[in-house]
Structure 1
Amino acid sequence: MIMLFSQRGGDFRRVGNMGRRSTHTPQQLRDLILDAAQSIIEAQGLAGLSAREIARRIEYSPGTIYNMFQNLDDVVLHVEGRVLDGLDQRLSEVLTSAGDKPPAQRVAQAYLAFSTQTPRLWNLLFEHHLPQSTQLPAWYQQKLETLTGRMEQAIAPEFTDGTAETRRDSARALWAAVHGITSLATADKLTSVTSQDAVRMIDDLVTTYLAGLAAPKH
């Protein structure tokens, strides 16, 4: 059943059978759309997402979605923003808590754990592609910068020499390596290149990398 909607005083009203009504503010309606889109992606992956399916779940017409977002890509980008925020919160908690292992190891393991706990949402960050002529919005790029900054924070205690730019480049190189192992593990392809599990492999990677940073420079 498709619900019609009307807008009055900045709010959207959902009108169903027998005169049943419910009113949502624009922000509430955006949240409803994103909640539904996220739920669909978690259950079916990106391939299962459509404006019609979102509309069916929230009981609004498909046109309502395009009053709130530019297009379906915009909806997906905002779901990705939620995923990035969740990942950033996880890494931030790791950095501010005590642990036996160096911060870089704990951040890397938290990244791996996040990908295995929410595989379809994590994969969404890399399988969704915008049209070539479309640039990522500034708010999205800022979230990416914040995330890469977490690894920079993590290696800072070990990085006693070099400039801030060198530290940033080193953090991104380590992040890329951790991501590579995580991608293989999530795709169940890691056994084709090593007998080690992902946790052990990431620990070995980060330990070796940090040892290289601490080694005397000649």
Structure 2
Amino acid sequence: MGISDRKEREKQEMKKLIIDAAMRMFVEDGYEKTSIRNIADKIEYSPGTIYLYYKDKDELLYAVQKEAFSKMLGAFQQHANSRSPWKRLEQIAYTYVNFGIKHPDLYDLMFIIRAPMNTAEKKGDWENGDACFNYLADTIRECMEKGLLRYTDPRVAALSIWSMGHGLVSLQVRCRFKVMELSEDQESQMINISIKEFLRTIKA
């Protein structure tokens, strides 16, 4: 292995060390309470070392968000892989909601708090969400090609299905289901029924 290859490997290893520590601290302590210095102390390096790779906390959070999306994509690939596009669409819907409910703090970083999008705006795009969104969009296109959906515009279909899932997760992770005075088991049942009924209404 050449010097440049070794340096690149060491760089990637250091970035992974920083991202893993930052993700744990953002999840356990919250984004606002976590500082670059806290993360540096956690990995036993100086704050200056982190600033060699990320210019501020927003940029670091953006990298953490990318890792979170990688985990969601892995969940799709594991649990939403049916050869039938309609069955796969169902699997995506349930997997998305279950992932968000199981990982509420990651979901916060991915879809709710504003900070990582500051970096996305500076970059001019938001590639972190591309792979997961395309997984949904490609499945929707397959469904539409087979006449399985009521939608005529795949973008509207994607937005509607995504919004349904996001709404359920957001209500649950922010404890807004309390207004319905449901037990934990009833909440889970209500969420699954809501997904099932929504999918039934959009199927051609």
**TM-score normalised to the size of structure 2?**
0.77
Q: RMSD value over aligned CA atoms?
A: 3.3
In our comparison, the structure showing a higher alpha carbon Rg is 1
Letter paired with 1:30: K
Q: Distance in 2 between matches of 1:151 and 1:194?
A: 33
Which protein has the bigger helix share?
A: 2
Structure with more relative contact order (C-alpha pairs < 8 Å, separation 6 or more): 2
1:54 alignment counterpart: 39
Residue from 14, 18, 30 that aligns with 2:15: 30
**Identical columns (%):** 21
- Find the partner of 1:173 among 141, 148, 160: 160
Amino acid at match of 2:153: T
Residue 45 of structure 1 is matched in structure 2 by: 30
CA separation of 1:25/1:45 partners in 2, compared to 1, >3 Å: closer, same or farther?
same
Determine whether 1:87 maps to 2:60: no
- State the alpha-carbon separation in 1 of the partners of residues 115 and 192 from structure 2: 31
Q: 1:211 Cα shift?
A: 3.4
- List runs of 5+ in structure 2 lacking aligned partners: none
What stretches of structure 1 of length at least 5 have no aligned partner?
1-8, 13-23
Within the candidate set 99, 113, 125, 1:127 is matched to 113
Which one has a larger percent strand, Structure 1 or Structure 2?
A: 1
- Which of 175, 179, 193 is the aligned partner of 1:192? 179
The 4+ residue runs of structure 1 with deviation greater than 3 A are 9-12, 130-134, 153-158, 193-215
Alpha-carbon distance, 1:136 to partner: 5.3
Whether the aligned pair in 2 keeps the contact of 1:105 and 1:203 (CA below 8 Å) is no
